[in-house]
């Protein structure tokens, strides 16, 4: 009788230890997950603060899951996600998204020695162009001409991963099934300004 009790007591102790070990592991994983979520949340908070600070030379990358990306209703993030969908990049293939909005503006003023405008009341400030390129022309008595051209560039940079055949794909679809494949990182630059043409691009990925 005593031996039976000891036998079952030993089994119960082992079972309790196993349950305790599993519970501890689950709690550890949960705590580790919460720490990761907190770290990501703090990182995104820093990214928002820096983005709104007016400093344009430095940025902190936002960290989103696909679910968060599709749920986020920020106008810029939504616009970036729309461009990604236009490029037909699937959720599972998406790696990074970048957005760059820049503007080039310069004013040139020419003042002639002689009077070139007869009318003393002449003072013209005219804007010619569109959303992406415009020129502000200024004329002022007696001899002042100013020109201020402005160019705007809006770039969406989408980084994705795609599986391709290592060697050139064979014409036969069945043969392509048996070709060795690898994943390549694709970078697509979508420039919205119709007057800008990207002449050369290079992207480098650092690997271990």
**Domain residue spans of the chain:** 1-58, 105-149
Tell me, what's the pLDDT at 130? 93
C-alpha distances in Å from residue 200, one per residue of 59, 123, 141, 189, 203: 24, 43, 45, 11, 10
The parts of the chain modelled with pLDDT lower than 50 are: none
Q: Which residues, 6 or more positions from 94, have their beta carbon under 8 angstroms from its beta carbon? A: 66, 84, 158, 159, 160
**Sole residue written with tokens 């794909």:** 169
Tell me, what's the pLDDT at 58? 66
Tell me, what's the pLDDT at 99? 92
Token digits of residue 85: 């969908």
- Give the global pTM: 0.68
Tell me, what's the pLDDT at 7? 57
Tell me, what's the pLDDT at 40? 61
Tell me, what's the pLDDT at 13? 64
Peptide bond preceding 98: is omega within 30 degrees of 0, i.e. cis?
Answer: no
């Amino acid at each position: 009788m005593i031996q039976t009790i000891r036998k079952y007591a030993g089994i119960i102790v082992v079972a309790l230890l196993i349950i305790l070990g599993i519970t501890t592991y689950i709690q550890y994983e949960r705590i580790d997950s919460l720490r990761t979520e907190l770290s990501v949340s703090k990182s995104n908070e820093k990214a928002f603060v820096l983005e709104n600070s007016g400093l344009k030379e430095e940025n902190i990358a936002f960290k989103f899951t696909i679910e968060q990306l599709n749920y986020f209703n920020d106008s810029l993030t939504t616009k970036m996600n729309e461009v990604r969908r236009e490029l037909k990049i699937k959720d599972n293939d998406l790696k990074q998204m970048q957005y760059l909005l820049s503007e080039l503006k310069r004013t040139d003023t020419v003042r002639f020695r002689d009077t070139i405008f007869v009318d003393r009341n002449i003072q013209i400030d005219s804007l010619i162009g569109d959303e992406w390129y415009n020129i502000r022309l200024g004329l002022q008595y007696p001899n002042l001409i100013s020109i201020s051209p402005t160019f705007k560039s809006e770039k969406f940079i989408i980084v994705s991963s795609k599986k391709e055949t290592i060697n050139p794909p064979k014409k036969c679809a069945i043969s392509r099934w048996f070709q060795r494949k690898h994943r390549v990182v694709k970078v697509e630059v979508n420039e919205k300004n119709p007057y800008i043409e990207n002449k050369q691009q290079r992207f480098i990925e650092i690997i271990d």
